Amino acid sequence: MKKLKIILIASLLIVVAVNCSSKEEEIMKNKVDLVQNEAEQKVDVMVDGKLFTSFLYTDKLDVLKKTVLYPLVSANGIAVTRGYPLDPRPKERTDHPHHIGAWLNYGDVNGLDYWNNSDAIPAERASEMGIIRNSKITNIESGNEVGKLSVTNDWLNSDGKQILEEKTEFVFIANDGKRMVDRTTTLTALKDPVLFKDNKEGMIGIRMARQLELPSDKPAKLSDAHGNVTNVPVKDNTGVSGKYLSSEGITGLDVWGKRAKWVALSGTIDSKDVSVVIMDNPTNVGYPTYWHARGYGLFAANPLGQKIFSDGKEELNFSLKSGESVTFKYRILLLDGKGSKEQLEAEYNTYISKK
């Protein structure tokens, strides 16, 4: 009888230990850790010890004329962003070196071009360009399923004069099969008024991996805000699988220049399906936004370029008076698998219903 009691107690302890271990694993799953590396001027966002993204704010890399999130990695381990120019990969395009990771800026702010700036800009055009530099990391929080990062950035002209103050909060969310970035950016005009003249180059953008481009059978010549042409040649379409779908049911290249609440880009990388979704917020200027989404890998939402996207039928020329502010809110969703319209609409409704 004594031996039986010992056996029962031992069994009970094992069961309790197993249950405690299971609960601990459940609690720790999808743990979001933010790790600042001041020497490299970046903040890594880790989920269960694996990289989700990094906030890069370095001014040591001349190619980086703004702050960016790079790379973006889905829950199933797929890097959905292009490597070039920071970490080039074979068979990817090497056009538009200013397209790095995920970013927010604009092509005409008091006549300054923040969108196209890179180390490829010749010295004689430097005065036309704007630069965004981080001035402060104001908050870093890690947690289960959610991490937060708050930063202050300065929008500068080529002489270093500050035009706008940017305050941005990133909320990084990790669920099973999902990774999300909620971005809230407030821009404040300083001493002088600020005009965001209607321009196609804006505003929240991601440069996608080669596999998430749309297959193409002809070369493209693409013009930037200054009329400079970039030749994008025909390439081997092997593995290229991107497909656009908007909240309005528009597909493919037709999403460009159309309004929509959200647009999804889905495809397959390394035999794994993934969907990348940019979601507009009803509180944003110009909602629902126009989309500057191209087949060659640029995926962007632009609420301020209305004259260009409407063929002149609309014109915004959004402006701020001295001391005035505007806030933009977006969600970037990385979803394992190819989401259906119904699933993506449900995800969008969850986003806009959050407090």
Residue-wise pLDDT tens digits, 15-53: 444 454 444 445 579 999 999 999 999 999 999 999 999
Residues sharing a CB contact under 8 Å with residue 351, sequence separation 6 or more, in sequence order: 182, 279, 281, 331, 333
Alpha-carbon distance of 216 to 123, in angstroms, equals 34
CB within 8 A of 193, min separation 6: which ones?
A: 319, 320, 321, 322
pLDDT for 198: 98
Name the nearest CA neighbour of 99 among 299, 332, 278, 265.
299
| Distance in angstroms (rounded) separating the CA atoms of residues 187 and 122 | 28
Which domains, and CATH codes, for the chain? 2-353 (2.70.98)
Over range 109-132, report the average pLDDT: 96
Q: Which residue has the tokens 């209305």?
A: 306
> 273-321: per-residue pLDDT in tens?
999 999 999 999 999 999 999 999 999 999 999 999 999 999 999 999 9
User: d(Cα 323, Cα 66) in Å, to the nearest integer?
Assistant: 23
The set of residues, in sequence order, having a beta carbon less than 8 Å from that of 267 and lying 6+ positions away, is: 211, 212, 240, 241, 242, 243, 273, 274, 338
- Structural contact between residues 214 and 252, judged by C-beta atoms closer than 8 angstroms: yes
The H-assigned helical ranges of the chain are 2-28, 306-309, 341-353
The pLDDT assigned to 162 comes to 98
pLDDT per residue as tens digits for the range 151-197:
999 999 999 999 999 999 999 999 999 999 999 999 999 999 999 99
* Residue 355 neighbours by CB distance under 10 Å: 2
0.75 exceeded by pTM: yes
Beta carbons of 63 and 44 less than 8 angstroms apart: no
236 — pLDDT class (breaks 50, 70, 90): confident
Phi, psi at residue 123, to the nearest 5°? -60, -35
Distance CA 114, CA 104 (A): 9
> Which residue spans within 68-161 are E strands per DSSP?
68-72, 102-106, 131-141, 143-144, 146-156
* Separation of alpha carbons 82 and 94, rounded Å: 10
